[in-house]
Structure 1
Amino acid sequence: MQDGTEQTEGREERVLAEVRDEFGLIRVLEVGDYRFLEFGDAIEQSCVFTPDPSWLEYDYTRAMLIGALCHAAPESALFLGLGAGNLTQACLKFLPLEDVEAIELRPDVPRLAMEYLGLDDDPRLYVRVGDALELLPSAESADLIFVDLYTDTGPGVGHLAWQFLGDCQQRLNPGGWLVINQWAADDGKPLGAALLRGLYHRHYWECPVKEGNVILLVPADLDQQLNMAELRGRAEALAPRLGYSLQALLDVVRPAS
């Protein structure tokens, strides 16, 4: 599988849907076998390979899946930010999840994801519309929590909100993992690195990716460690089903910088 740029180069772009809400423009585009969710002025949010919506095209989504594999057998997950839903699809397909909740700010996003982007109406998935910062207190605790709150101008305010990020960790079940798609600063460190180091006591791991993000892997408590040997074993066992290897991303996982 080539990356999305190579797959779509030279192919005609079709607009499948375009809606405006109080936050601006949402657009769904199709180029060959790929569909894209865009916010605002052509800011790409998600890419879906239409023959298999659980296929993770971007390194940052694959790195977030690595975060999910930190847990040996997760039964519950909370997604703060849904987008096209392909990470949610992948987790539902490849993990032993029984209960999944997603909170999405923009009402049209879940509808468009189901209508155009292959998001299944899975009975294990419950989608709520609203601000994740406001709705987090009413969410169930989970084995996995994913934070991916991006707008057409960059990361949402939650990505630098001390109380919110701390509350995300507090809502983890024992042994759980918080996975944050954090913007990378010019020095390659995650946005708000000093805040994150203080909040999580430097007890987390980072996975930098080529899209210019750093995925944070945050355990539920200070006694919990990342067992890289077990993580590599789970990733290797899953690779034939995924159709790609996570090895290159595992090689760059590092302790908090």
Structure 2
Amino acid sequence: MRRYNGELIHASRDEHGPIEIVEDSRVRSLHFGSRSRQSALFLDRPEALVLAYTQSMMAALLLHAAPRRVLLVGLGGGSLARFLLHHYPDCQIDAVELRPRVVELAHGYFRLPEDDARLNIIPGEGRHFLTHAALRHSDYDLILVDAFHGTGMAEEVAEADFFAAARGRLADEGALAVNLWQQPAQRLRRTLTGLQDAFAGRCLQLPVPTRGNLVALASTRPVPPDLATAWDLRAHALSRFTGLDFPGFLEGLAEANSAS
């Protein structure tokens, strides 16, 4: 059966709605009842990031280039986890995912390892975890937030109290990356204001080219005023290391934040 320009290989439903997996000759994709892809896997390169917004989220490495502890809020098919486990073999990852069925499918269809001691999957809602988790779930070098459902960004990860709680879980030199949607504009402005307040203005925006996504980055440390100069060497080193276009990310950051 054809679906979203591919072959439908799985369809199910949980209390939050439909879950579909579609495959073509190169890519397997996760959908939550709409054409929007929630996660994707190159069948011949499972460690690579397919979707532009997931690539842009890794611009957080410009703020912290060698993470040892990472928190993922929203697992999806596990794209970010696979990427980090491949490139940072000493990294310990906690991943909070609301939907148990999504976790099952990430293991079954998206090659997310089930028995890797470096990956700890925690069932539940991201804001509740950040607010109530034990003290050992702190001092993260990176927190990466990608919590979407079929119709847009999850409300609970777009509020000021969520960002304040995330700030409290970061290490002294930690950084946050959040996948946002640019519409509706009023909601985006409110979300960005909450992020700015939580991080004392130490925030950057990275629009995802040709997409409606906007990646927001926030740091516990001051952001250099001249990004292009301060992070040029780091961007090229990260590009060689990961294969991602970090000089392009840096150019986008410099352009989008030139007036701030």
The TM-score normalised by the length of structure 1 is 0.85
Change in Cα spacing, 1:105 to 1:132, as seen in structure 2 (3 Å) is same
User: Among residues 153, 157, 165, which one is paired with 1:155 in the alignment?
Assistant: 153
Residue identity matched to 2:174: G
Distance in 2, matches of 1:62 and 1:189, equals 24
The number of residue pairs the alignment matches comes to 245
Kept in 1, the 8 Å contact 2:99–2:123? The answer is yes
User: Are positions 1:87 and 2:86 aligned together?
Assistant: no
Kept in 1, the 8 Å contact 2:36–2:150? The answer is yes
SS, match of residue 252 in structure 1: helix
Match of 1:123?
117
Change in Cα spacing, 1:162 to 1:244, as seen in structure 2 (3 Å) is closer
Kept in 1, the 8 Å contact 2:181–2:188? The answer is yes
Q: How much is the aligned-residue C-alpha RMSD, in angstroms?
A: 2.5
Change in Cα spacing, 1:126 to 1:230, as seen in structure 2 (3 Å) is farther
1:207 is displaced (CA, Å) by: 0.7
1:194 is displaced (CA, Å) by: 3.2
Distance in 1, matches of 2:202 and 2:62, equals 18
Change in Cα spacing, 1:194 to 1:230, as seen in structure 2 (3 Å) is closer
SS, match of residue 251 in structure 1: helix
Superimposed CA distance per residue, residues 88-112 of structure 1 (whole angstroms, 9 cap, x where no aligned partner): 1112222364311000010011111
1:232 is displaced (CA, Å) by: 3.4
Residue identity matched to 2:168: Q
Map 1:10-89; keep pairs closer than 5 Å: 13-89=6-82
SS, match of residue 194 in structure 2: helix
Q: Quick check: 148-157 or 127-136, which moved more?
A: 127-136
User: Are positions 1:199 and 2:198 aligned together?
Assistant: yes
Kept in 2, the 8 Å contact 1:65–1:91? The answer is no
1:235 is displaced (CA, Å) by: 3.2
Change in Cα spacing, 1:114 to 1:243, as seen in structure 2 (3 Å) is same
Change in Cα spacing, 1:120 to 1:229, as seen in structure 2 (3 Å) is farther
Distance in 2, matches of 1:128 and 1:209, equals 29
Distance in 2, matches of 1:189 and 1:230, equals 32
Kept in 1, the 8 Å contact 2:41–2:50? The answer is yes
Instruction: Structure 1 unaligned segments of length 5 or more: list them.
Output: 1-10
1:240 is displaced (CA, Å) by: 3.8
Distance in 2, matches of 1:38 and 1:81, equals 14
SS, match of residue 44 in structure 2: coil
Distance in 2, matches of 1:196 and 1:238, equals 26
Change in Cα spacing, 1:133 to 1:248, as seen in structure 2 (3 Å) is same
1:217 is displaced (CA, Å) by: 1.2
Match of 2:208?
209
The sequence identity of aligned pairs, in percent, is 31
Distance in 2, matches of 1:45 and 1:143, equals 24
